[in-house]
Amino acid sequence: MLIPFSMKNCFQLLCNLKAPAAGFKNRVKSGLILQSISSDVYQNLAVEDWIHDHMNLEGKPVLFLWRNSPSIVIGRHQNPWQECNLNLMREEGIKLARRRSGGGTVYHDMGNINLTFFTTKKKYDRMQNLKLVVRALNAVQPQLDVQTTKRCDLLLDGQFKISGTASKIGRTTAYHHCTLLCSTNRTFLSSLLKSPYQGIRSNATASIPSIVKNLLEKDPTLTCEVLMNAIATEYAAYHQIDNHINLINPTDETLFPGINNKATELQTWEWIYGKTPKFSINTSFNVLYEQSHLEIKIFIGIKGGRIEICNIEAPDHWLPLEICDKLNSSFIGSKFCPNEITMLTNILHRTCPEDDELHSKWNILCEKIKGIM
């Protein structure tokens, strides 16, 4: 059963509400089931951060249900260039987000259910949560063969991954979140989660590819709405709380003071790309010059999302060494992103406004560099 999380509902579900600006903090009577009315990945991730940072979860577990419009979410310690096809994402308008938990990269859309289980650190138990999801699925369709794995994934029919797990454990609170593939766009999922970039060397956490399948492909009655209600029912029974899914607006500052600042931070370049662990790219390509192919070598070291080392090696008769050095030094300190490289290319053009041949070579090099971003 869905009920809007209005101020009236707040008084019913929260006790001793003396200051509206204090929102949920320390006022939940018992467990609570929340569902976001937003499909914005940054707003929903901000809810996770807010609950983790502000709520007293002692004896008050929280289940948060949320779905996002098409987006890619990487783990806290991952490298987006290594994990996904950034160029395709830009073309398709797919958002990229970095969450605060570990784990691997996932594709989200409205056919993918996200479940976040909040508890105290002492009561944190991922396997218990996954077994709860399995019970809910079997309550709806007893014939479903869904099993947990040692890696805390859920497998359908022993081979198809339908859920992956990640978590964040704080000083006193913790959360475990997982996905549940219901009717996601598997074509987008597979193409977006395939990095085309070559020559990347990184110590970032790498995702483990899996064969996936939608629950709706197994049984057309297993819609997102049916599954969310089933999980909420099972969660309520297990924790002996009200069987209500309370709709929340992640931008409501009266319930979540300061939450919009959290959402804004999650959208910044510094968080999404700047938090990428140090990595390097070592690649090469050929250019046609006087009916022969010349090899151009490129080595780029990136730290904090910015170019720390740039070494472009080109044959001296194609691009003089002093010009190549100028190009290398120009990139140092810049963001490793296409817009920044385009801006630098335009600046370089203005230093030699009449040299069309040099402009052409700079353009070739810059386009190749942008191609690996």
CATH of the domain at 175: 3.30.930.10
* Residue 320 counted as domain residue: yes
* Residue 24 counted as domain residue: no
Same domain as 333, residue 207: no
* Residue 2 counted as domain residue: no
- In the chain, the number of structural domains is 2
Residue with tokens 């804004």: 264
Residue 2: the pLDDT is 52
Last residue of a domain, one of 244, 273, 302: 273
Same domain as 208, residue 124: yes
CB 290 within 8 A of CB 319: no
β-strand partners of 292: 289
Same domain as 253, residue 351: no
Could you say which DSSP state residue 94 is in? -
CB 125 within 8 A of CB 102: no
CA atoms within 13 A on the CB side of 265: 13
* Residue 188 counted as domain residue: yes
Range of the domain at 232: 32-273
Residues in the chain where the model's pLDDT stays below 70 = 1-29, 353
* Number of neighbours of residue 368 by Cβ within 10 angstroms: 16
Same domain as 322, residue 368: yes
* Residue 99 counted as domain residue: yes
Q: Rounded to 5, what percent of the chain is helix, strand, coil?
A: 35, 25, 40
Same domain as 250, residue 131: yes
Residue 353: the pLDDT is 67
* Residue 20 counted as domain residue: no
Question: Looking at the whole model, is its pTM more than 0.85?
Answer: yes
Residue 25: the pLDDT is 54
Residue 27: the pLDDT is 47
Same domain as 262, residue 283: no
Same domain as 283, residue 147: no
Same domain as 368, residue 235: no
Last residue of a domain, one of 273, 304, 332: 273
Same domain as 79, residue 194: yes
Nearest to 210 by CA among 280, 277, 156: 156
Nearest to 115 by CA among 38, 10, 44: 44
Same domain as 353, residue 211: no
* CATH code at position 295: 3.30.390.50
Distance, in Å, from the CA atom of 76 to the CA atom of 96, rounded to the nearest integer, reads 12
Dihedral over Cα of 232, 237, 240, 244: its sign: positive
Same domain as 299, residue 264: no
Last residue of a domain, one of 238, 273, 308: 273
Distance, in Å, from the CA atom of 278 to the CA atom of 81, rounded to the nearest integer, reads 12
Question: What is the residue-wise DSSP string for 134-166?
Answer: HHHHHHH-TT--EEE-TTS-EEETTTEEEE-EE
Describe the crossing of helices 224-239 and 126-140 by its angle, rounded to 10 degrees: 120
* Residue 22 counted as domain residue: no
Residue with tokens 């204090």: 22
* Number of neighbours of residue 167 by Cβ within 10 angstroms: 18
Same domain as 47, residue 177: yes
**Residues with Cβ within 8 Å of residue 118, at least 6 apart in sequence:** 51, 52, 55, 57, 61, 62, 63, 64, 173, 174, 175
* Number of neighbours of residue 225 by Cβ within 10 angstroms: 11
Structure tokens at 231: 């999980």
Residue 106: the pLDDT is 97
* Residue 38 counted as domain residue: yes
Distance, in Å, from the CA atom of 177 to the CA atom of 214, rounded to the nearest integer, reads 18
